[in-house]
Structure 1
Amino acid sequence: MVNFALMITAELENLTNLEPEGGCDDPNFTYYIKIMFVDLLVPQSILDLNSDPSDYRLEMRELRRDDEERDVEGNITMIAGRGRPLTQEISQAGKYAPLMVFDCRGFVPVEFSFGSGWKVESIEGTKFDGVDLSGDEFAEYDENGECPVMISNLRAVFEVAAK
């Protein structure tokens, strides 16, 4: 079993605290993750995860080189309490913020897709809820702070995390 941290970064213009609407441990947030089974010639699969329930068992059939099928399975468990929002300071430093940690058995996460259900706030304090990042960017105008706000250049990586 290996823990993988989902690390995110983006360019934040006049924005800070990018995270799922309910916070980093939001039980209703859906993660769109591409996974690959370990040591198998199984095609990559897309997995939609939310943390209720927090333990997912995955089953697939592997077609081996000798054309025989066999069952393969793995599971993933979300480990709450280890994520934090992407702040403007982290973004400007060119660093990544850990969004969620996953305990993975039998497969590794290889790609994350940003979707909807995010929140962020302007440096002037205006809150933006229901942000959809599936188009890879977000742009608005902060009326209260009288400034443009933007999220662009979204990136995500998975790193092996300490237990």
Structure 2
Amino acid sequence: MVKYLLKITADLENLTDLQPQGGCDDPNFSYLFKLKCGRCGEVSQKETCVSCNETVPLPVGNGTTNLIQKCKFCGRDGTITMLPGHGLPLSQEISQAGKYSPLMTFDCRGFEPVDYVFCGGWKVLSTEGTTFEDVDLSGGEFAEYCEKGECPVMISNLRAIFEVVK
């Protein structure tokens, strides 16, 4: 069992508190990433989608997990269980310091998450107090105009890493 913490950062212009639409522990938010098999090292061709509100029973024993997937190359099964409660919005201060903000922790058995893919369903707050909802980051950036602050706002240079945690 290895736990991976997904951490994100971006360049935020006149923005702060980038997070999933319903907050960092939003059960409806979908995480997309590729998986690397722990046995053969094969990386999945397509992104895998995982969200907290989707659970399946474990094949052995009691309990549930958020994903059971078979490696297409070697046939080994692996599971991913999400562990909410560790995420924080990406603030302007963290962004400007060049640091990453924790988003979600994944308990991975048989797989390692790699290559996180940004998609829709984000929200962000302008430094003047305007909330931008349902922000789509699949294009790699977001640009808008804040009427309240009479200034442009922008998210660019999106980056994500998976860090092994205890």
Cross-structure match for 2:2:
2
Give unpaired runs (5+ residues) of structure 1. Answer: 64-70
Give unpaired runs (5+ residues) of structure 2. Answer: 56-64
Conserved? CA contact 1:109–1:158, under 8 Å: yes
Cross-structure match for 2:129:
125
Name the amino acid aligned to 1:110: V
RMSD: 1.2
Aligned mates of 1:150, 1:3 — CA distance in 2: 32
Going from structure 1 to structure 2, the CA distance change for 1:146 and 1:15 (only over 3 Å counts) comes to same
Aligned mates of 1:83, 1:106 — CA distance in 2: 24
SS in 1 for 2:39: coil
Aligned mates of 1:144, 1:43 — CA distance in 2: 46
How many corresponding residue pairs? 155
Aligned mates of 2:28, 2:22 — CA distance in 1: 8
Instruction: Say yes or no: does 1:60 pair with 2:85.
Output: no
Conserved? CA contact 2:34–2:43, under 8 Å: no
Shift of 1:41: 4.5
Cross-structure match for 2:103:
99
Identity across matched positions, percent: 56
Spell out structure 1 runs of 4+ moving beyond 2 A. Answer: 41-45, 60-63
Cross-structure match for 1:144:
148
1:1-163 equivalence runs, <5 A: 1-45=1-45, 46-54=47-55, 55=65, 56-63=67-74, 71-162=75-166
CA distances 1:22-62 after superposition (whole Å, capped 9, x unpaired): 01111110111111111315342420111112521112343
Conserved? CA contact 1:57–1:73, under 8 Å: yes
SS in 1 for 2:94: helix
Conserved? CA contact 1:41–1:62, under 8 Å: no
Name the amino acid aligned to 2:73: E
Aligned mates of 2:134, 2:5 — CA distance in 1: 24
Going from structure 1 to structure 2, the CA distance change for 1:58 and 1:88 (only over 3 Å counts) comes to same
Aligned mates of 1:41, 1:19 — CA distance in 2: 31
